[in-house]
Amino acid sequence: MKPTPLRRRLLTIAHSYCVELNRRLPQELARAGGWDVVAVAPAKFRGDFGWHVTAANADEPCRVVPVPVRFSRPVHTMLYGAPLKKLLSEPWDLVHCWEEPYVAAAAQIARATAPRVPLVYATFQNISKRYPPPFAWIEKYALGRADGMIAYGDTSREVLDARGWSGRTRTIPPGVDVVKFAPDPASGDRIRRELGWTGDAPVVGFVGRFVAEKGIARLTTALDRIASPWRALFLGSGPLDADVRAWSRRHGDRVRIQAAVPHDAVPAYLNAMDVLCAPSQTTPQWREQFGRMLIEAFACGVPVVASDSGEIPHVVGDAGVIVPESDDAAWTRAIGDVLAEPTRRTELSRRGRERAAGVYAWPLVARRHIDFFNELMRG
């Protein structure tokens, strides 16, 4: 009788795990088999859209451990409480930290992880920056301890290479739940009715923070110039909220703004859209690092029109329309063309859904993580 193989123990840590939908990675790592997975999250965390309290679901395949945090505004200075140090003293086969290596928690985790245990960080950072002290020191210390890095995109990988990181790296994108985010015309029709919309005027959607770098002004300018019928649905809020609402009042019932949509309700709103626009704008300090709304729209079969800022062209591939980020005429033309051509929208819908299922589905993303973790442990 063969002995039962020992299960490996993985500790994964992320402030984003305070939201259950963001725990799909540890959940899928646990479902893949062969691993006992423990996910650490802040017990209570204030994000961009309010407070989150970590609570495990009864059916989660991974163990969820809420830990108190301090100094969490901004997240760069956040430190986990003493229970994390105690947890890190247990025997682990690998520790995965879904935090940027320049934040305070990264150094805290590097110091508390046993030297023999492989430690992996993840990064979205796609601009090579010179961080002020102490963050530059933190990054140097954390990378000096790291055994591997996961870059969430090609542009993040380029920055790691440019900064002289010579350790093992794997480029692995975030994932999307292709079951929760799926084509659902009935839920889209329900949302339109709730918004008071009847008729067949196509809906242009936006999901994200109302900030200049997300291209709100670029999108509203383009919509003002489109002569054919349209409606616009904005999900989000932010510093430019007053500007967006002032613009919306000029268009009356054609525009709806939903400021507080829970993440698990986003699929229904995406299904109410005929096209999602992501007009992100590069600045000296920021370019689009990924764009989760892109792959969520793909999964729902919603055509995507997006700018060429940062990682977006790599995310979209041939499944959407890429527009030069600062070309107003091109934006007007691209949105207008997609709205005017139902058959093109159908083709983009098909391509997007295939890309979501074939590249970004969480089980595939988790498998790529496991392959990298196994490589590091063999090394």
Is the pLDDT score of 35 beyond 60? yes
Is the pLDDT score of 249 beyond 60? yes
Residue 349 shares a structural domain with residue 372: no
Is the pLDDT score of 3 beyond 70? no
Residue 124 shares a structural domain with residue 71: yes
2 is a domain residue? no
Structurally, how many domains does the chain consist of? 2
Phi, psi dihedrals of residue 279, rounded to the nearest 5°: -90, 45
Residue 141 shares a structural domain with residue 123: yes
CATH number at residue 36: 3.40.50.2000
Coil, strand or helix at 306: strand
Q: Check residue 5 and give its pLDDT.
A: 55
Q: Single out the residue of 378, 363, 377 nearest to residue 32, CA to CA.
A: 363
88 is a domain residue? yes
Cα torsion angle, 318, 321, 325, 327, sign: positive
Residue-number span of the structural domain to which 128 is assigned: 8-175+361-378
pTM here?
0.94
Residue 193 shares a structural domain with residue 70: no
Is the pLDDT score of 4 beyond 50? no
Residue 38 shares a structural domain with residue 112: yes
Residue 106 shares a structural domain with residue 191: no
Query: What is the Cα–Cα distance from 91 to 77, expressed in whole angstroms?
Result: 27
Q: Check residue 46 and give its pLDDT.
A: 84
180 is a domain residue? no
Is the pLDDT score of 2 beyond 80? no
Residue 120 shares a structural domain with residue 238: no
pLDDT per residue over 198-211, tens digit each? 999 999 999 999 99
